[in-house]
A and B are shown apart, each in its own frame.
Chain A
Amino acid sequence: DAKTTQPPSMDCAEGRAANLPCNHSTISGNEYVYWYRQIHSQGPQYIIHGLKNNETNEMASLIITEDRKSSTLILPHATLRDTAVYYCIVRIYNQGGKLIFGQGTELSVKP
């Protein structure tokens, strides 16, 4: 079973920051949090991942709470092309490192 819970859908205005929350209260100390997104009928695309420190790359920022029980993905300036399903995933450390997807958040960026 997935170790994450996310809101099923969110809206965001174009040009604004999109903040996507994720709860992972049962995460273990050595398990990473990954974020992928999927545009309709395509394979998932990597966004960012982290263990306990906040991370930033050219696509997004990842904020992980100190207790690691939740995290937030931030898309700083959302565009229409960011409309997709966003998956927060905890990598299962002791099961071959497999990624178990939860239900994800369907983000709609509106003009």
Chain B
Amino acid sequence: GAVVSQHPSRVICKSGTSVKIECRSLDFQATTMFWYRQFPKQSLMLMATSNEGSKATYEQGVEKDKFLINHASLTLSTLTVTSAHPEDSSFYICSARESRTVYGYTFGSGTRLTVV
């Protein structure tokens, strides 16, 4: 089946620095990828939808200048958390939309970001 690789799985960074998270579709081309964040004991919250070669569409309340999304190729989307603060500490998960499976949405394993 379709596989989505997300890297790194865990990252600790200092407040004020930027962190990049990568999401790769390993055996298929993903024209659309989604980025979610999840706080402890809460559900996944959709942050943005990224389409290859175009600007991402952000959900209401998500700061696009803080969460930079790049989807430059059909197999790679990146999320950069700029000027990270402790309140940005969260579990970030990507998902790729694909046509190889009947269900069409494959999720990465997530990235645990801790800002100290």
A residues contacting B by CB (< 8 A) are 2, 34, 36, 38, 41-46, 49, 87, 96-104
Chain B residues with Cβ under 8 A from A46's Cβ? Answer: 101, 103, 105-106
CB < 8 Å neighbour of B57 from A36, A43, A96, A104: A96
With both chains docked as a complex, state the minimum distance between the C-beta of A50 and any C-beta of chain B, in angstroms. 10
With both chains docked as a complex, state the minimum distance between the C-beta of B105 and any C-beta of chain A, in angstroms. 6
Chain A residues with Cβ under 8 A from B49's Cβ? Answer: 96, 98
Q: How far is the CA of A36 from the CA of B103 in the complex (A)?
A: 11
Given the known interface contacts A41-B112, A44-B44, A87-B43, the answer about A99 and B95 at a Cβ–Cβ threshold of 8 Å is: yes
- The tally of CB-CB contacts under 8 A between chains A and B is 54
Chain B residues with Cβ under 8 A from A96's Cβ? Answer: 32, 49, 51, 57
Chain A residues with Cβ under 8 A from B32's Cβ? Answer: 96-97
Chain A residues with Cβ under 8 A from B97's Cβ? Answer: 97
The 5 closest A-B pairs by CB, nearest first: A43-B107, A101-B44, A43-B109, A101-B43, A44-B107
B residues contacting A by CB (< 8 A) are 4, 6, 32, 34, 36, 43-46, 49, 51, 57, 91, 93, 95, 97, 101-110, 112
- Asked if A102 and B43 sit within 8 Å, CB to CB, the answer is yes
Chain A residues with Cβ under 8 A from B104's Cβ? Answer: 97
- Asked if A98 and B91 sit within 8 Å, CB to CB, the answer is no
Query: Can you offer 26 A-B residue contacts whose CB atoms are under 8 A?
Result: A2-B43, A41-B91, A41-B112, A43-B6, A43-B95, A43-B107, A43-B108, A43-B109, A43-B110, A49-B102, A49-B103, A87-B44, A96-B32, A97-B32, A97-B97, A97-B104, A98-B34, A98-B49, A99-B34, A99-B95, A99-B105, A100-B46, A101-B43, A101-B45, A101-B46, A103-B43
- Prevailing SS type, chain B contact patch: strand
Given the known interface contacts A98-B49, A99-B34, A99-B105, the answer about A43 and B93 at a Cβ–Cβ threshold of 8 Å is: yes
